[in-house]
A = this chain, B = another copy of it.
């Protein structure tokens, strides 16, 4: 019998992925040092190059197997929820509240990788694009669903709103890196929450104007208390 298996290729691979993810999160992909990954993981270079053909291949694997699930887990609650606006607001609140100083300082790995790698590597670009597409499609589906259930205004263009929401989140997290505090992120998120509130369907509203007008007139506004801070 063997007390502990001396060879655990799957575990080695997983350790490598996680340490590579952290190093990439701190330094970006190009500045990520293989030696640093090897040191933090306790794996040798021979093992690394047995599991991954190159640094680039390792990076691709991190995107597919770490970043992608990470992002998907974040917005899943919104897609699964009965009321996508309530769910989205909750996610936003969680996002700012649970975020450690470390996460504030280093930002969102997904956003970081897009910014760094999309212009210089097609493999990264394509993989990151599909993650973004899926994320957006999930929000679009949630909003369409919300429109059918009459919890989201019918005149909202779901594609545009989804892109706008994702952009504001990633932009807020990204820009927060330039500040010491999380003030910017929190402030931006309050703006986002206000925007999300404005997407709620109002009780007596006639639906479906969509591409005709920006809505806004006639309807008399303002969900109010649930969101009013102060």
Interface set of A (CB-CB < 8 Å, partner B): 26-28, 30-31, 105-107, 111-112, 114-116, 118-120, 125, 128-129, 132, 136, 156-157, 159-161, 163-172, 174-175, 177-179, 184, 187-188, 190-192, 194-195, 197-198, 200, 202, 205, 209-214, 216-217, 221-222, 224, 228-230
Q: How many chain copies does the complex carry?
A: 2
Give bound CA distance, A211 to B191, whole Å: 13
Task: Name the residue in A27, A119, A202, A217 with the highest tally of chain B Cβ atoms < 10 Å from its Cβ.
Answer: A119
Give bound CA distance, A166 to B214, whole Å: 22
Partner of A111, one of B119, B175, B221: B175
In the bound complex, do residue B214 and residue A188 qualify as a contact, i.e. CB atoms below 8 Å apart?
Answer: no
Q: How far is the CB of A96 from chain B (nearest CB, A)?
A: 12
By beta carbon, the residue of chain B nearest A211 is B230
In the bound complex, do residue A228 and residue B213 qualify as a contact, i.e. CB atoms below 8 Å apart?
Answer: yes
Q: At the interface, is chain A mostly helix, strand, loop or mixed?
A: helix
In the bound complex, do residue B163 and residue A167 qualify as a contact, i.e. CB atoms below 8 Å apart?
Answer: no
In the bound complex, do residue A129 and residue B179 qualify as a contact, i.e. CB atoms below 8 Å apart?
Answer: yes
In the bound complex, do residue B190 and residue A157 qualify as a contact, i.e. CB atoms below 8 Å apart?
Answer: yes
Show 29 residue pairs from A and B whose CB-CB distance is below 8 angstroms, ordered by the A residue.
A27-B120, A28-B28, A28-B30, A105-B118, A107-B115, A111-B115, A112-B115, A114-B174, A114-B177, A118-B177, A119-B177, A129-B179, A132-B175, A132-B179, A160-B194, A161-B194, A163-B188, A165-B191, A167-B171, A167-B175, A170-B171, A170-B174, A170-B175, A171-B172, A194-B214, A198-B198, A205-B221, A209-B222, A213-B228
